[in-house]
Structures are given as structure tokens and as C-alpha cells.
Amino acid sequence: MSDDRIYIFDTTLRDGEQSPGASLSINEKVEIAHQLKALGVDIIEAGFPVSSPAQFEATRLVAEQVQGPIIAGLARAVEKDIESAAKALEPARNKRIHTFIATSPIHMTHKLNKKPSEVLAMAVKAVALAKTFTKDVEFSPEDACRSDMAFLIEILTAVIEAGATTLNIPDTVGYVLPYEYGRIIAELKENVAGIDQCIISTHCHNDLGVAVANSLAGIRNGARQVECAINGLGERAGNAALEEIVMAIHTRASFFSKHEASALLNIKTEEIFKTSQMVSRLTGFVIQPNKAIVGANAFAHESGVHVDGMLKDKSTYEIMRPETIGLSGSRVVLGRHTGRHGFVDRCKQLGFSLNQDELENAYKRFLEIADKKKEIFDEDITALINDEIRGIEHTYELEELHVVSGSVAMPTASVRIKTPTGVVQAAACGDGPVDAAYEAIRQAIGLSPTVNSYSIRAVTSGKEALGEAVVKIVDNKRTFMGRGVSTDIIEASARAYVNAINRLVTVQP
């Protein structure tokens, strides 16, 4: 393995989940962790175990079930945090405790109310304690980029002596620019005693839109680990996007090293798109069409000049091939006459491995949609399977929906819903057709969660496009996300609401 090896540290399950509204269930975290392993991520930060029983259990289950990658748990530089992380990580074959404490004057003064000498002592003590549980210990000086350089050098030198093996340099508030961040990494590499025995890591936030650029500047100046998240999820404006980091290194490997991309990264790039879609589905965060690498328009060409160039040689306007990230490269259209075999084969090509029950449900919904829509694209099938077939137990099922609405008519809706105790029907009025449908569902099921947010979008283009609705509901201060798809956006909205309620009842005691 080359000395230029770059390690990908994924924090989707920890920092990414801290995105407002992106809360994941324990099972969803484990599902994502398995996919991160398939992607080839080197380190998975599974959670912040001491912060809640759910965080502890999710970290423990990932440590138990996902063998191969290093599983990390976050801990403040306090004894109870480190002990909690160590306990949660016990099942892991490869484990890491990631401990941190703020080092900038503004954080030490206003958040910690501690002197630099006290912070240094806490950091050393935390690393030393973590070292008694695992040989792999990472230390992060929070808000490093607004810290005094002399103190940063002092505390990093001290934690290396205490046993730290990875030094992470966070741009916690996304303040610095690429040249500045690269210079910080270079200066630390030159002046911290013993740092050549450690891996330097980046952790950049995107408040100024330069998280990926900062991370790449860090690599260019000696960092060998990048902390990032799928789709750039994270606090505020998010973290550096894993897919952008990976493909920048993959596409421009010669800029970072004399070695080929395959020697620099362990990532299986063909799993990128599938992973991105999974995280989008489970968090409810829709990917913007012009998002780099994984957006719907990332490999789309419309301009006549561009299309002409593409027809002559794809390299004229594509610096990456869509197949590299797991896309088929061309749209495959299915229809009502597509048989079961063709449908199953297409699902396999899209990366879905369905059991018999899931296959039957998916094919049934496929035929229902095919009766309404002449052409069904890959995106439709992905939305269908991800949003309605996979991931949750269907306690309630929407069997029928009838809605009456108009400019002068009172919007009314009636529903027929299959429940564990039988089929129930209900009707209601509302401020609009969606509101009426939701009220009828509430009456039928007997639950009244509040709608926090609601959005709709077209999965593909054209007047027969499959519509996707995303709704977030709140019950007892807990947020649940649901999705639904249909050629009718009112039906999609109702399916999304029922989907969210199914998630709610799944986690109820």
C-alpha cells in the first residue's frame, strides 16, 4: 500500500444525522452502515453513544453487525463519555474512540469557561483513558481553525504523547478558505513533534460553501484522512460531501499523488449512487438536481453544442462516466407489457435484492403504475422500491382514496385503510384535497400527528411523471418522515402520510 493512501472517515450516522429533521431510527442506521461497508468506507462513525440510549444502541449494533471497517464512537473529553463509547464499541473487531474538546479562545471562554491549561489537561487525560480501551484513538481540537496556532501545536503534541493515533483538524464553523486550511495542515505537519507517527485528518463544514475544497487542500498539504458525509449532510450547511471528495480524488489522482486512484482509495465508486439514494430516502432530504456527482442533472446534457460534442466523443463534456458511480449510463424504459422476468432483471441491475414478498409487492405496484403511465424509467422503479416497499412494517395500508375538490366545492375525501384489526373507512372535509385526505386518514386510524413539513416533486419529466410526496409528522416531540409515489399527487401525498404513521407506530412502545 502506498504512503499516499487516503482514508475515508464517514460521519453520516453521527454528524450527518445532526442535520435538522434528519433523525434516523436504529434499524435505518444499521442499514446505512451495511451499505457504507459495501461502498468501501474505511472508518464509520456510528454515533455519539453517551448522548442518548438510542445513540448507544445504534452504535453497539453497528459495532456488532458491521465487521470490516473501523467503527468509531464520539466522546467528549470527559470520563463518562469515553466509558460509554468504549462499552458501545465492545463488539467491534476494529474500533476507535474519537474524543474532542474545544481549543479556540471563543469556545474556551464562552462555552467551556476554562483556561487553556485546563483544556490541555482534560485532553491528555481523555486520550490516556481512551487508550486503555483501544489502541486506536482519535483526537479533535474543536474549532481548530479559530484556535491560536501555538496552543494548537502544544495540545496536539501533548495528546500524541498520551497515545493519540489520529489528529483531526476541524473547521467546525466553516470559517476558513482553502489556502488558509491547507496552510494550517502544513504548519501542523511541520511543527508538531511526533505527528509523523499519526494520521492527520480533515473535518470541514460547508458554511461558506468550501468544505470539499478545504478538505482537498488539506490532502494536498499532508492530511491522509477525510471526514465527510453522504450527500454532504451535517450541522447547518453540512459537511464535506463524501461523493465529491472521492470523485475529485478518483478523477484527479495525479494531482494528489504519483499513484493511481485505486492505490489511493478503498472506495468502490460504483456504489456511490446507490448509497446516496439510500441516505436521501431514509433521511427525507431530497437531492437537488444540480448536485455534483449524484444530482439528476449531473450527467444530463441539453445544449445543442454539448449534445453535438457528446455524440462525437463523450469526453468532450464528461470528465467522469456515469457508470463509474453506479448509473446505467442510459435510461431504460419499461411499460405495462413488461413481464415479471424483465422487471426482476431491471431491479437487479439497479442494485436491489428483493425477497419474495418484497418482489410481489413491488411488481404489483409496478403494474398499477404501468396502467396509468405509458413509460416507466429507472428513477420511477427506484422511487417505487425505496419509498414504498423497503424499510418499514406496513401496519396500515391505503387501499382506496376518493377525493372531491374544486374552485367552488368543499374539498372532501374518503379513505379505505387496512389495519391490524380489519378494514376501516372514513370521510372528512379539509382546507384542500390533501388536508381532507389527511383528516380522513386520521379518523380512520385514530391517530392525529401534526404535519411538520410537506413537499412534492416529479420523479421524471413529462405530464405522466411519477409524483413523489415527502411529509414529516411530529408526535410527542418526535419527528417521522414518510414518502409516497403515484401518478396522482394527492394519492402520493396520502401514501406518504400513511408511510410516516407506519414509522411512528413501529417505534411506539
Every domain of the chain and the residues it spans:
7-283, 299-326, 331-389, 397-507
CB 92 within 8 A of CB 63: yes
Q: What is the pLDDT of residue 283?
A: 86
346 phi and psi angles, rounded to 5 deg: -65, -40
Q: Which amino acid is at 194?
A: G
Count CA atoms within 13 Å of residue 338 on its CB side.
Answer: 26
Q: Please state the separation of Cα 114 from the chain's center in Å.
A: 35
Q: Count how many residues are written for the chain.
A: 509
Quote the CA–CA distance of 323 and 269 in Å, as a whole number.
Answer: 9
Q: What is the pLDDT of residue 148?
A: 98
453 phi and psi angles, rounded to 5 deg: -150, 155
What are the Cα distances from residue 142, in Å, to 52, 172, 497?
Answer: 21, 6, 40
Per-residue pLDDT tens over the stretch 338-393: 777 878 877 877 767 788 888 888 888 888 888 877 677 777 787 777 655 555 67
Per-residue pLDDT tens over the stretch 316-342: 768 888 889 988 665 556 777 777 787
For 217, the grid coordinates are 487542500
Map grid coordinates 456504489 to a residue: 271
Low-confidence ranges of the chain (pLDDT < 70): 1-2, 21, 300-314, 317, 328-333, 351, 374, 386-392, 461-463, 507-509
Q: What is the pLDDT of residue 302?
A: 46
Q: What is the pLDDT of residue 329?
A: 61
pTM of the predicted structure, to 2 decimals: 0.81
Q: What is the pLDDT of residue 113?
A: 97
The helix/strand/coil state of 128 is: helix
CB 194 within 8 A of CB 208: no
DSSP 6-23: -EEEE-TTTTGGGSTT--
Q: What is the pLDDT of residue 261?
A: 83
How many other CB atoms are found less than 10 A from the CB of residue 280?
20
CB 427 within 8 A of CB 403: no
For 81, the grid coordinates are 463519555
What are the Cα distances from residue 34, in Å, to 31, 38, 54, 241, 282?
Answer: 5, 6, 18, 19, 14
Quote the CA–CA distance of 40 and 59 in Å, as a whole number.
Answer: 19
CB 223 within 8 A of CB 201: yes
Which CATH number describes the domain made up of 397-507?
3.30.160.270
Q: Which amino acid is at 227?
A: E
CB burial string 135-172: b at 16+ within 10 A, e below: ebbbbbbbbbbbbeeebbbebbbbbbebbbbbbbbbbb
Quote the CA–CA distance of 346 and 332 in Å, as a whole number.
Answer: 9
200: which strand partners? Answer: 167
The fold of 7-283 is: TIM Barrel (3.20.20)
Q: What is the pLDDT of residue 222?
A: 96
Q: What is the pLDDT of residue 1?
A: 36
For 370, the grid coordinates are 404501468
Helices assigned H by DSSP within 332-423: 340-349, 356-370, 378-384
For 101, the grid coordinates are 474538546
DSSP code for 373:
-
